[in-house]
């Protein structure tokens, strides 16, 4: 993708991407009101080639939305892979299958859609929100996120205020999973930063009817 400055690390370039173990390694943080977050730094190893693929021409789209009666650019690029659309790297398909298997008892259905967001630099961001379009507005569900590229923190706070926010640093190859009531009782955000950061791609796996 043109204009995305990215410096691959020599170390990563020689490595094949691999998925680590999930069992016994994921750390669960229990939140209030039936919400929880699982976190596993470095789940994907040797992920430089995946980042290279994701920063290529995979059909990223700029969106606009209405704000204060004006149309503004959404400050990140988006790519949505619907059920059965092939993902741009086989390891991402494997990651989705591994997550479906690992969370089978809690989720009771597969992760099937894949949303991707490209944060080109520190000016790109997403404001506080829950993924409450569809079933997740009324039902518990899981949203799994694998992060590639420059580290950015995922912030979480209880919906409606009245609690401290939590910060999950998301670096290259890290996994975070929001579960239980998290999408409707908590909100999450990726804040803007004045720090000089390179591109970050977030890959989100969701069950059908959740976005």
Ligand X SMILES: O=C(O)CCC(=O)C(=O)O
Binding residues vs ligand X (CB under 6 A): 115, 117, 126, 131, 145, 154, 188, 190, 202, 204
Shorter beta-carbon distance to ligand X: residue 115 or 207: 115
Least distance CB 28 / ligand X (angstroms): 18
Least distance CB 14 / ligand X (angstroms): 27
Least distance CB 13 / ligand X (angstroms): 24
Q: Can you read off the two tokens belonging to residue 121? A: 């630099």
Least distance CB 167 / ligand X (angstroms): 13
d(CA 53, CA 6): 12
Distance, C-alpha 174 to centroid of its chain: 9
- What residues does 179 pair with on adjacent strands? 36
Shorter beta-carbon distance to ligand X: residue 47 or 204: 204
Contact status, residue 151 vs residue 168, Cβ threshold 8 Å: no
Residue 169 CB contacts under 8 Å (≥ 6 apart), including other chains: 41, 151, 153
Q: Residue 73 in 3-state DSSP? A: strand
Shorter beta-carbon distance to ligand X: residue 24 or 99: 99
Shorter beta-carbon distance to ligand X: residue 51 or 190: 190
What DSSP string describes 24-43?
Answer: TTPEEEE-STTEEEEEETT-
Shorter beta-carbon distance to ligand X: residue 24 or 44: 44
Q: Can you read off the two tokens belonging to residue 12? A: 């990563």
Residue nearest to ligand X (CB): 202
Least distance CB 117 / ligand X (angstroms): 5
d(CA 12, CA 188): 30
Contact status, residue 130 vs residue 206, Cβ threshold 8 Å: no
Least distance CB 69 / ligand X (angstroms): 24
Contact status, residue 206 vs residue 131, Cβ threshold 8 Å: yes
Shorter beta-carbon distance to ligand X: residue 107 or 210: 210
Q: Can you read off the two tokens belonging to residue 25? A: 């390694």
């Amino acid at each position: 993708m043109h204009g995305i400055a990215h410096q691959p690390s020599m170390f990563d370039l020689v490595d094949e991407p691999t998925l680590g173990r999930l069992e016994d390694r994921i750390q669960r943080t229990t939140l209030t009101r039936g919400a929880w977050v699982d976190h596993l730094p470095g789940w994907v190893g040797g992920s430089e080639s995946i980042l290279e693929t994701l920063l290529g021409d995979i059909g990223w789209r700029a969106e606009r939305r209405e704000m204060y009666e004006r149309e503004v650019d959404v400050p990140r690029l988006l790519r949505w892979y619907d059920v059965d659309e092939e993902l741009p790297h086989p390891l991402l398909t494997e990651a989705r299958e591994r997550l479906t298997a690992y969370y089978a008892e809690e989720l009771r259905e597969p992760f099937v859609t894949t949303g991707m967001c490209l944060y080109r630099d520190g000016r790109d961001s997403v404001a506080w929100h829950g993924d409450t379009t569809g079933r997740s507005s009324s039902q518990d569900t899981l949203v799994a996120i694998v992060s590639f590229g420059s580290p950015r923190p995922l912030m979480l706070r209880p919906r409606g205020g009245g609690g401290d926010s939590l910060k999950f640093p998301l670096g290259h190859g890290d996994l975070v999973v929001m579960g239980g009531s998290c999408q409707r009782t908590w909100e999450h955000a990726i804040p803007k930063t004045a720090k000089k950061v390179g591109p970050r791609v977030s890959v989100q796996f969701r069950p059908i009817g959740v976005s």
